[in-house]
Amino acid sequence: MQATVNHKNQTFKIDFSKPIDISIELKTGKNNPNAWYLDPPKIIPVKMEGWIGSVKEGGTTNFNNIYFNPHSHGTHTECVGHITKDFYNINEHLKTFFFTAEVVTIAPIKLMGDFVITQQQLQQQLIGKTPEAIVIRTLPNTSNKLVQQYSNSNPPYLLKEAAIYLREIGVQHLLIDLPSVDKEKDDGKLLAHNAFWNTSGNVRLNTTITEFIYVNNTVTDGSYLLNLMIAPFKNDATPSKPILYEILNS
């Protein structure tokens, strides 16, 4: 289903019948990506007073409890409330859901024992573009990202200067296929989070960071329309389902 979309004085031709899902499905058990030293998520039927919420096991309906942490167990979108004393709610501060987006592929470089994404790498990929959202796919990019166990692995991260650069060119929504934009163990500094959200200045309340995405290798780098869908949790972060649409007239 092709349609012409007007977005902030730009006109795009989009085929909405061909969504590109860059979220990771959350399942019960260990067959999920995981970080931050937590047990795997659980999706289990309710049991009470001799009744079980599983048709397979004799119940009348499937009626499951879900135990998970959005930061640890798959694709999630967070607002500045993730790192502030004051409570900020992602469901309150993300109020529009379509954005111009640029998909870029970056091989993190080794710096002082860590693998990092630098400002120069982002500049080379964006080549002067200033999208509302950036989708960062890191190399190597294999399907192992769908089940990777990241705790105590020191995965790649974004340097502070790179996050400042994205903020300064007006990127509002940062999406990445890693468990965090920051170093796993950094003594709580969270340099990239703080820099992107500008917590030491005019805080960017309506901007977001989405982590734990997966961008298949069949998706080419370039410009897309992003639909950033979230679950309506009153929390700093929520599970999310970012969808890309190819811009046909680009």
What is the per-residue pLDDT for 28? 96
Asked if 135 and 175 count as a contact pair (C-beta separation under 8 A), the reply is yes
Tens-place pLDDT, residues 50-85: 999 999 999 999 999 999 999 999 999 999 999 999
What is the per-residue pLDDT for 154? 98
**Span 118-130, average pLDDT:** 97
**Span 190-195, average pLDDT:** 98
Asked if 114 and 157 count as a contact pair (C-beta separation under 8 A), the reply is yes
Query: What is the average pLDDT score of the chain?
Result: 97
Q: Residue 250 — pLDDT band, cuts 50, 70, 90? A: low
Q: Residue 1 — pLDDT band, cuts 50, 70, 90? A: confident
* Domain 2-25+71-246 bears CATH identifier 3.50.30.50: yes
The CA dihedral of 206, 210, 216, 218, to the nearest 10 degrees, is: 20
Q: Which amino acid makes up residue 25?
A: E
Share of the chain above pLDDT 70, in %: 100
Tens-place pLDDT, residues 105-117: 999 999 999 999 9
What is the per-residue pLDDT for 36? 98
